[in-house]
Amino acid sequence: MRFQSLLIDGARAAFALVILALSVLVFARLGVRQRPRLDRPPAMAMVEVIPAQAKSGEFEFDVDGLVIPFREIDVAAEVGGRVTYKAPICRPGQAVREGELLFRIDKADYQLELDRLREQVEQAAGAREELAVENENALVQIQLAEEEVKIRQRELDRFEKAPNPSVFSQAEIDAAKRNELTARNALQSRKDQLDLLKSRERRITSAERTAQTQLKRAELDLERCEVRARVSGVIVTESVQQEGFVQKGGVLIVIRDTSRMEVRCNLRMQQLQWLWESEQAEPQATSEAPLPAAEAPSRTQQAYQFPRTSAQILYKLNEEQYSWQGELTRYANSGVDQRTRMVPCIVEVDNPEKVVRSDDGTRSISAPPTLLSGMFVTVRIRASLPRPLLALPATAVGPGGDVWLVSADHTLQRVQGEVLHGSATEVLVERTEELADALIVISPLVNPIEGARVRVVGDAPPAEQDVVEGDS
């Protein structure tokens, strides 16, 4: 038994040694790397290139916009009273025309006031006519008093200038003087009465003018009992019903002016710089006379003047695109938005009902009748830069503006381009000496290395190289 046990242990040990030997052999075989023998040099990467294409400084860029109303007008009651009539069309969402009757306020009290003031004006006119007659009579009495003074003066002269003064007694002379003095006193009284009549005339004239002014005000109040639409537009809100009472100045409805619309958009500072450069590049008119100093804009006004630029408003609906013509006119506020770091701007659309459909016109599709407040649209703005540009395919420009070129010795060269504008298919970069006449790589590159030799698609293959012996 003991011998049999020793045989079994020996067999197990021999089997373990065989397994260990095979394992060492396998690991040794797997760990050996044989360098392949190269009969040909490694093939150069194939790249597709195009020459750099110069482009004029004009290009278009798109920004998102939101249609907002040009203005909203509060139609308020200019007189107080009970609403006796409300037009059926006076409801939110209804369109109204300028001058259309919307409300009528009870005008009984205003009609009574108007009648009273008319009577007051007539009374003032009658008093003025009576005064005119009195003035005429006063003038006649003054003429008679002047004649009386002349007669009394001649009579006194006869007493005082007589050849023999002793003929007349002193009592007769004193009586003549007293009569002359009485006549002059009567003349002065008539003149004073005429002055009083003139002062009275001024008071009557002033009272008449005051009554006429009040009469015009009463006529205006009576006219204001009918509330009409000031502009053509759409009613936004209403706040009064028929038979309700309104106070003077109370808002009845709010009308949104639809004759013009605005589009609010945000521009990056770089895009705004393009517009500044475009404005400076435009030729300035020299034939116009300079503005007077009083009309010339101040430095602050000049600093906030916006470079007015034409813009196109685009709206896509059911795979169809519609457009309106507008103009980028001003800033929406005085600075940069702190959240987005962009500049809010306003595009004015003078004719929001003039819509153009951007297709061949063969399909019968109804376009939106007008720009509506709240629409999300695209604003397409044209810029014209004085700088030379290059148009490159989007595949030619990598992250950060990297552009790969193929030099004359067929090696890769990387250039950092200043990207001005890019779309899904085209990128505009500033034209530099390095990019002016270069061959731009447009095919994808995997881990490109600057200075690596490449082969341009369409060129002849390189000549055969000597076989490079590999390690055995």
pLDDT tens by residue, 11-51: 676 767 767 777 766 666 665 454 554 445 556 777 888 88
The answer to whether residues 265 and 355 belong to one domain is yes
444 lies in some domain? yes
Contact 324, 352 (CB under 8 A): yes
Q: How far apart are CA 225 and CA 214, in angstroms?
A: 17
Examine the domain organization and report whether 130 and 215 are in the same domain.
yes
Q: 441 and 377 in one domain? A: no
Residue 246 within a domain: yes
Largest CA distance in the chain: 212
Tell me what pLDDT residue 3 has.
Answer: 53
3-class DSSP state of 346: strand
Instruction: Establish if 290 belongs to a structural domain.
Output: no
Tokens of 288: 């116009």
The mean pLDDT of 149-156, rounded to a whole number, is 80
Ranking 75-79, 207-211, 294-298 by mean pLDDT, the lowest is 294-298
Whether residue 457 is predicted with pLDDT greater than 90 in this model: the reply is no
**Residue 99 falls inside a structural domain:** yes
Residue 297 lies in a domain: no
User: 422 and 317, same structural domain?
Assistant: no
Q: Does residue 136 have a pLDDT over 70?
A: yes
127 and 200 share one domain = yes
CATH code, domain with 56: 2.40.420.20
Q: What is the pLDDT of residue 5?
A: 63
- Which of 362, 384, 406 is a domain's end point? 384
Beta bridge partners of 425: none
Mean pLDDT for all residues in the chain: 80
Residues 250 and 393 in one domain: no
Give the H or E element holding residue 150: helix 108-160
Mean pLDDT along residues 283-291: 49
Are 99 and 238 found together in one domain?
yes
What domain range includes position 96? 71-106+225-257
Encode pLDDT of 341-395 as tens digits: 999 999 999 999 888 887 655 555 566 788 888 999 999 998 887 777 888 888 8
Residues 122 and 217 in one domain: yes
Please give the single-letter amino acid code of residue 158.
Answer: R
Q: How confident is the model at residue 226 (pLDDT cuts 50, 70, 90)?
A: very high
- Comparing CA positions, the residue from 391, 379, 427 lying closest to residue 275 is 379
Q: Which residues of 98-123 are buried (b: 16+ CB within 10 A; e: fewer)?
A: eeeebbbbbbeebeebbeebeebbee
- Using alpha carbons, list the distances in angstroms from residue 337 to 95, 331, 341, 439: 35, 11, 5, 42
pLDDT digits (tens, 9 = 90+) for 252-267: 999 999 889 999 999 9
Domain final position from 336, 360, 384:
384
Alpha-carbon distance 178 to 145, whole Å?
A: 15
Is 20 part of any domain?
A: no
Q: Is residue 34 part of a domain?
A: no
Judge if 184 and 231 occupy the same domain. Answer: no
Same domain as 392, residue 380 = no
Co-location of 100 and 116 in the same domain: no
Across 124-135, average pLDDT:
84
Counting the structural domains of the chain, the total is 4
pLDDT grade, residue 449 (50/70/90)?
A: confident
282 vs 352 pLDDT, higher one: 352
Residues 131, 270 within the same domain:
no
Domain end: 177, 203, 223, which one?
Answer: 223
| 360 residue type, one letter | D
